[in-house]
Amino acid sequence: MRIASLNMQNLRLLPDETGGHLHGARDRDEAPDTRHDEADRRLTAELLAATGADVLALQEVFDVQSLDFFHDRYLAPRAGRYPYRLCLPGNDGRGLDVALMARRPWDEVTSHAGLTPEDLGLAPPEGMAPAQPVFRRDCLEARFGALTLFVVHFKAPSPEPARAWALRRMEAEAVRRLLPRGREALWLVVGDLNEPRDSGARAIAPLEEAGVDLGLRLPEAGRWTYYEPHVGAHHRPDALIASPALAERFPRAVPRVLHRGLGHEAGPGQGTRLPGVGHHRPHASDHAALMLDLPGL
């Protein structure tokens, strides 16, 4: 099984007289420059096609209609069909959820968007209503045979870093409590954990303590998955955290980071850029794609 992960950067179907078009790979607080939207989504599809993945774990997808439109119009002609697709409503006020696309059916899938701190025996951070959901978006759990996959997108570090840290810590602890028990359990947490690159206590420490961060198997210079242009810094918010049993079973499973869809402003990365990528835009996303091979699963 090959698994790939990508933050799609605002994949949203916008209605028009032609049947709809996709929002480009741009944040909503950016200037509304729509000139590159079509090229962005072509590049997003080319990037995902390059992974050759059996399962795609995606973040920042507005809804299943947006996912299906992207699949049918952009991805399937380049990569073949992913007949199994899912994007369930989550808790993001802007409607950006996590999603799955797969070439093979999952055995079971569960959304944890409705869980509260009380459900998991967690104390909510100060100022958080007890009935407020734990996850900012969702924690989508999907079982493929022996492997249980958790697709997540944690709270971003802005605009209030201290509060965001507390919420992200709660999310990490919540996922830890959902993980399958037992020394032989095979699980993988994948997605955008939004952990900034700075010193100090890490909000996602509960997950790092429970499993193995497979990204650490890469040389340090090649681990980054995100470039922050206004400060000129590289970060690694995107992660693959494996259960100890999974890491032990696949000691040579090293993630690949595909920087080829990022704007040239991010500097050199692994592999050449896709044709048509610009300095900032067009680009596939502001995140690199991650991929991991787990033969035999």
- In the predicted model, residues of the chain with pLDDT beneath 50 are none
Q: What is the pLDDT of residue 199?
A: 65
Q: What is the pLDDT of residue 291?
A: 98
**Rg of the chain on CA atoms, in Å:** 18
Q: What is the pLDDT of residue 9?
A: 97
Q: Are 69 and 22 in contact (CB under 8 A)?
A: yes
Q: Specify the residue for token string 């944040």.
A: 27
Which tens digits make up the pLDDT trace of 240-270?
Answer: 999 999 999 999 999 999 999 999 999 998 8
**Beta partners for residue 102, in sequence order:** 55, 84
Instruction: Give the number of other CB atoms < 10 A from CB of residue 122.
Output: 17
- Of 66, 65, 64, nearest in space to 109 by CA: 64
Say which DSSP state 117 is in.
T
Q: What is the pLDDT of residue 94?
A: 83
pTM for this predicted structure: 0.97
CA separation, residue 253 to residues 5, 259, 287 (Å) = 15, 19, 21
Which residues lie closer than 8 Å to 17 by C-beta, 6 or more apart?
none
CA distance between the termini of the chain: 6
Q: Are 117 and 134 in contact (CB under 8 A)?
A: yes
Domains, the chain, ordered by start:
2-293 (3.60.10.10)
- Of 146, 119, 143, nearest in space to 249 by CA: 146
Q: Are 64 and 85 in contact (CB under 8 A)?
A: yes
Count CA atoms within 13 Å of residue 184 on its CB side. Answer: 1
